[in-house]
Amino acid sequence: MKKVMMGNHAISHGATLARVQVIAAYPITPQTQVVELLSEIVADQRLKAEFIKVESEHSAMAACIGASSAGARAFTATSAQGLALMHELLHWAAGARLPIVMADINRAMAPPWTIWTDQNDSLSQRDTGWMQFYCQSNQEVLDSVIMAYKVAEKVLMPVMIVLDAFSLSHTYEIVDLPDQAVVDKYLPPFDYKYKLNVSDPHTYGGLTTPDWYMEFRVKMQEAMDQALVEIKKEAVEFEKAFGRRYDPVEPYMVDDADIVLVTSGTAASTARFAVDQMRKKGKKVGNLRMRLLRPFPFADVREHLKNAKKVIIVDRNISYGYHGIWAQEVKSALYGHSKVPVFNFIAGLGGRDIFPETFVEIVNKVKKLKKPDQELYWVEVKK
Amino acid sequence: MKPTLPLEELMSPGHLACQGCGAGIAMRVSLKALGRDTMFTFPACCWTVIDGPFPYSCLEVPLLHMAFEATAATAAGIKAAMDALGKDKTTICGWAGDGGTFDIGLQALSGAAERNDDIFYFCYDNEAYMNTGIQRSGATPYGAWTTTTPVKHFKKEAKKSIDDIVAAHKVPYQATASVAYPEDLYKKLVKAKDIRGFKFIHIISPCPPGWKARPEDTVKLARLAVQTGIFPVYEVDGGKYVQTMKTPTRKPVLEYLKLQGRFKHLKESDVADIQRMVDTRYAELEKRFQGC
């Protein structure tokens, strides 16, 4: 059934279709509609779930950890400061190997206070052990919640679904709501082998000496390696069930492109529009959209950038004292595999719009340069 | 002689508690009342260590170790899951020290108490951050030495009244207990198990290394804490205060203080100050006791 809905409601519907059993959430702009709709759905008993209206995001994640440990499918959603407050427990959820799924609506970090989008909130959680899926449409958001549980419960690692504040969270788009029966067939109930069980009592997360700690970490890395395999497998399985496909990266006209713009989130669809315009003028430009941050799709990035003469990464984020974070990731994948010059542009922080013309200007600037003469280039910044 | 507590032990002797640890007694007795259909979550606290290192555990019930400030929210999450899975008979317990309750975990505790989540929240109170090496907490009493309140600048602030803070949430059941009176603790837990909603149990648990006391004095100290009126033992059942261990003639606080090295620097005038504080606090509480 097709419906027009905002990105935030696409998350709520995704969680409902995934039959989540425990929701624990705390309100933050621009996430609020996610939990508002979910609390209605739970109150109306359209979804059989417990909803804990916690007193902080830290407690939201703590409750999800408790619920998941006891064998329930757990869900939460947050943004920016809320995600940062959860940071300690993001490590905990991953370290405890709990398949929790969370939506993060990308909002820039304060100060100064802001509610608009950029990616510094989610990218700062890069090393916590969470998979991160960056979405560019409301349909992808809904589908990703369902797919996330499938992957997470197979490898026992948590997933963060990431979407831009306002340009996705509050933007209405046509979304195909899958039938519950099809979702149920695709996503079986969560049957957690290691759940807290009074008939078979175990202790989880106890004090571990240097004799064993590292082995737990090896298992997490192996789980992430396996996650990449599962994500690729699920791209096919999901397409079979729902007719839509989501690969770790999404190439657009990259094969013959001299210049490839690497982007993520909603900036990717803008970049594609710009690519079409530039193609019409005979410029060989392509776009590579990054969907996965973790597990990082090294091979896909190398493959799709192998023909490029120049690579431009447009980052809606920054690692202060370094450069854009996606640029760091992509450069690291290319190092030793490619000699292609990589240019990094920082654009759209704190929700500043990124227009198609922005990408055209970036490409025009790069055309004049043989190789980067700066580590990063700021886009459209006031003097 | 008929035993006053069940003989079954759900805590095995291979634990890592120090000699004379009050927190060990608190758990052993509590488990006798709670039984096997019980799950625990612990934050960082002495019990993180006492339970035993991976892959060992001295408990015969499931246990989820968790971050320091997250006890009440984690227990609420476990409870929600058990309800969602149709296993709503299982007793879910958060089990935290005083630091994890009075200080860093207070927000989550207040949240769960206000929501009236159907869980037990236990605080075994040894009156300082003992697991990290005896630093002052909001539960450390006036006059005490700790490594962060050295003798020259001993603790000048009174112990935070956590029981009053919880009482302000009007929870269905709360109680204080002392490891010197296991039957009293046992009775309270058996009763509270059948009460739906938030249950707060605050147990005074002497710590020989932290209190600089002799391990063999643990029970004596836990008893004197009650007999001096320093730690009155009572319950608040549906808003009704009942003193369960009565102290018609209170002993002087000096009898309690003098057995502990953490108070040995105190002058006579300091002890008199403490006696006055205890008298005032006790008189306030006494007004609330009913049926005495």
Chain B residues within 8 A of A55 when measuring between CB atoms: 107-108, 110-111, 114
* Same domain assignment for residues A95 and A211: yes
Residue B4 lies in a domain: no
User: What is the average per-residue pLDDT within A100-113?
Assistant: 98
> Does the CB of B37 have a partner CB in chain A at under 8 Å?
yes
Residues A267 and A234 in one domain: no
- A220 shares a domain with A278: no
Residue B292 lies in a domain: no
Average pLDDT over residues A285-311: 98
Return the closest-CA partner of residue B162 out of B236, B252, B76.
B236
Q: Which residues contact A159 (CB under 8 A, 6 or more apart)?
A: A99, A100, A101, A102, A130, A131, A132, A133, A148, A149, A151, A152
Find chain B residues with C-beta within 8 A of A74's C-beta.
77, 81
Contact B38, B76 (CB under 8 A): no
- Asked whether A351 and A166 are in contact (CB, 8 A), the reply is yes
Contact A63 B76 (CB under 8 A): yes
**Interacting residues of A11 by C-beta distance below 8 A, sequence separation 6+:** A34, A77, A103, A141, A142, A145, A161, A163
Q: Which of B258, B262, B257 is nearest to B209 (CA)?
A: B262
Q: Which of A242, A259, A285 is the last residue of a domain?
A: A242
Compute the average pLDDT of residues B189-214.
98
Residue whose structure tokens are 């009155």:
B232
What does the pLDDT average to over B73-89? 98
- Residue B239, domain CATH: 3.40.50.970
Chain B: give the shortest CA distance to residue A283, in Å.
Answer: 54
| Chain A interface mutation, best of B10, B79, B115, highest count of A Cβ atoms under 10 Å | B79
In order, the DSSP letters of A75-102 are: EEEE-HHHHHHHHHHHHHHHHTT---EE
Q: B214 falls in which pLDDT band (50, 70, 90)?
A: very high
Mutate which of B41, B91, B104 to test chain A, going by most A C-beta atoms within 10 A?
Answer: B41
Average predicted confidence (pLDDT) for chain A = 98
DSSP string computed for A342-355: EEEEE--GGG----
B 205-264 near A (Cβ less than 8 A)? none
Mean pLDDT of A99-120: 98
CB contact under 8 A, B107 and A206: no
State whether A207 and A352 are in the same domain. no
Cβ of residue B109 closer than 8 Å to a chain A Cβ: no
Chain B residues within 8 A of A219 when measuring between CB atoms: none
pLDDT at B290: 72
Structure tokens at B103: 């200080």
Contact assignment for B77 to A62 by CB distance below 8 Å: yes
Q: How far is CA A233 from the centre of its chain?
A: 18
pLDDT of residue B246: 94
**Mutation site for B-interface testing, chosen from A22, A203, A213 by largest number of B Cβ within 10 Å:** A203
Closest chain A CA to residue B39 = A198
Task: Read off the CATH number of the domain in which A118 is found.
Answer: 3.40.50.970
Q: Nearest chain A Cα to B118, which residue?
A: A52
The reply to whether B231 falls in a domain is: yes
Q: Among B31, B40, B66, B116, which would you mutate to test the A interface (most chain A Cβ atoms within 10 Å of its Cβ)?
A: B66
B75 interaction partners in chain A (CB closer than 8 Å) = 66
Quick check: is B230 in a domain? Answer: yes
Q: Rounded to whole angstroms, how far apart are CA atoms A376 and B41?
A: 47
- Tell me whether residues A58 and B70 touch, CB distance under 8 A: yes
In a domain, A383, yes or no: no
How high is the pLDDT of residue B291?
54
Q: Which residues of A touch B (CB under 8 A)?
A: 21-22, 24, 48-50, 52-56, 58-60, 62-72, 74, 88-89, 92, 196-198, 201-209, 212
- Nearest CB to B64; choose among A58, A60, A69: A69
Same domain, A104 and A158: yes
**Record: contact B111-A72, CB cut-off 8 A:** no
Contacts of B108 in chain A (CB under 8 A): 55-56, 58-59, 62
Predicted confidence (pLDDT) per residue in B246-267, tens digit: 998 999 999 999 999 999 999 9
In percent, how much of chain B has pLDDT > 90? 98
Nearest to A49 among B66, B79, B84 (CB): B84
User: What are the phi and psi torsion angles at B289 (to 5°)?
Assistant: -65, 135
Domain count, chain A: 2
Of B72, B90, B111, the CB nearest to A198: B90
Query: Could you report the per-residue pLDDT of A261-282, keeping only the tens digit for each?
Result: 999 999 999 999 999 999 999 9
Q: Which residues pair with A38 in a beta bridge?
A: none
Cβ distance of B64 and A48 shorter than 8 Å: no
Instruction: Report the residue from B53, B60, B74 with minimal CB separation from A206.
Output: B53
**Domain annotation covers residue B184:** yes
**Cβ atoms B142, B155 nearer than 8 A:** yes
User: Is some CB atom of chain A closer than 8 A to the CB atom of B8?
Assistant: no
Residue B24 has pLDDT above 90, yes or no: yes
Helix, strand, coil shares, percent, chain A, to 5: 40, 20, 40
State whether the Cα torsion B275-B279-B285-B290 is positive or negative: positive
Query: Which residues does A270 contact at the CB level (< 8 Å), separation at least 6?
Result: A263, A354, A355, A356, A358, A359
Name chain A contacts of B27, Cβ cutoff 8 Å. Answer: none
Query: Do A260 and A363 belong together in one domain?
Result: yes
User: In the listed set A242, A261, A286, which residue is the last one of a domain according to the structure?
Assistant: A242
Q: Which residues are A174's β-sheet partners? A: A4
Count the domains in chain B: 1
Share of chain A above pLDDT 90, in %: 99
Are A258 and A110 part of one and the same domain? no
Which domain does B202 fall in, by range? Answer: 22-286
With beta carbons less than 8 A apart as the criterion, state whether B41 and A92 touch. Answer: no
Beta carbons of B64 and A196 less than 8 Å apart: yes
CB-closest option in B74, B82, B117 to A62: B74
3-state secondary structure chain B: CCCCCCCCCCECCCCCCCCCCHHHHHHHHHHHHHCCCEEEEECCCHHHHHCCCCCCCCECCCEEECCCCCHHHHHHHHHHHHHHCCCCCCEEEEEECHHHHHHCCHHHHHHHHHHCCCCEEEEEECCCECCCCCECCCCCCCCCCECCECHHHCCCCCCCCHHHHHHCCCCCEEEEEECCCHHHHHHHHHHHHCCCCCEEEEEECCCHHHHCCCHHHHHHHHHHHHHCCCCCCEEEECCEEEECCCCCCCCCHHHHHCCCHHHCCCCHHHHHHHHHHHHHHHHHHHCCECCC
Q: HEC profile for B157-197?
A: CCCCCHHHHHHCCCCCEEEEEECCCHHHHHHHHHHHHCCCC
**Residue B123, strand partner residues:** B96, B202
At residue B292, does pLDDT exceed 70? no
Question: Is A63 within 8 Å of B67 when comparing Cβ atoms?
Answer: no
Stretch A52-65: mean pLDDT: 98
Residue A9 has pLDDT above 80, yes or no: yes
Give a yes or no: residue A326 inside a domain: yes
- Reading the block at residue B186, the tokens are 């046992």
**B250-254 contact pairs (CB < 8 A, 24+):** B250/B282, B251/B224, B251/B227, B252/B228, B253/B228, B253/B229, B253/B278
My answer on whether A259 and A209 are in the same domain is no
CB contact under 8 A, B66 and A66: yes
Tell whether A206 and A305 lie within a shared domain. no
At which residue do the structure tokens 């709990």 appear? A98
Asked whether the beta carbons of residue B62 and residue A196 sit closer than 8 angstroms, the reply is: yes
Which pLDDT score, from 0 to 100, does residue B204 have? 98
Identify residue A74 by its one-letter amino acid code: A
Q: Cβ A201–B61 below 8 Å, yes or no?
A: yes
CB contact under 8 A, A206 and B90: no
Within 86-105 of B, beta carbons closer than 8 Å to A belong to 90
- The residue out of A186, A221, A242 marking a domain boundary is A242
What number of CA atoms fall less than 13 Å from residue A69's CA on the CB side? 33
CB contact under 8 A, A206 and B114: no
The residues that bridge with B168 in the sheet, in sequence order, are none
- Any idea what the CATH number is for the domain that residue A296 is in? 3.40.50.920
Examine the domain organization and report whether A367 and A288 are in the same domain.
yes
Q: What does the alpha-carbon distance between residue B52 and residue B27 come to, in Å, rounded to a whole number?
A: 14
Residue of chain A whose Cα is closest to the Cα of B79: A67
In angstroms, rounded to a whole number, what is the distance separating the alpha carbons of residues B221 and A382? 69
Asked if the structure places residue B93 within a domain, the reply is: yes
Per-residue pLDDT of B100-159, as tens digits, reads: 999 999 999 999 999 999 999 999 999 999 999 999 999 999 999 999 999 999 999 999
Are A281 and A219 in the same domain? no
With contact defined as beta carbons under 8 Å apart, do B32 and B186 qualify? yes
Residue (of A207, A204, A198) closest to B60 by Cα position? A198
For chain B, give the percent of residues with pLDDT over 70: 99
pLDDT above 50 for A167: yes
Does residue B73 belong to any structural domain of this protein? yes
- B291 inside domain: no
Nearest-CA residue of chain A relative to B93? A66
What domain range includes position A23?
2-242
Examine the domain organization and report whether A127 and A223 are in the same domain.
yes
Q: Which helix (H) or strand (E) holds A240?
A: helix A213-242
- What is the C-alpha separation between B223 and B202, in angstroms, rounded? 15
pLDDT, one tens digit per residue, over A248-258 is 999 999 999 99
C-alpha span between B122 and B101 (Å, rounded):
9
Average pLDDT of the residues in B270-279? 98
Q: pLDDT-based confidence at B219, cuts 50/70/90? A: very high
Instruction: Quote the CA–CA distance of B145 and B148 in Å, as a whole number.
Output: 8
Q: Which residue of A has its CA nearest to B110?
A: A55
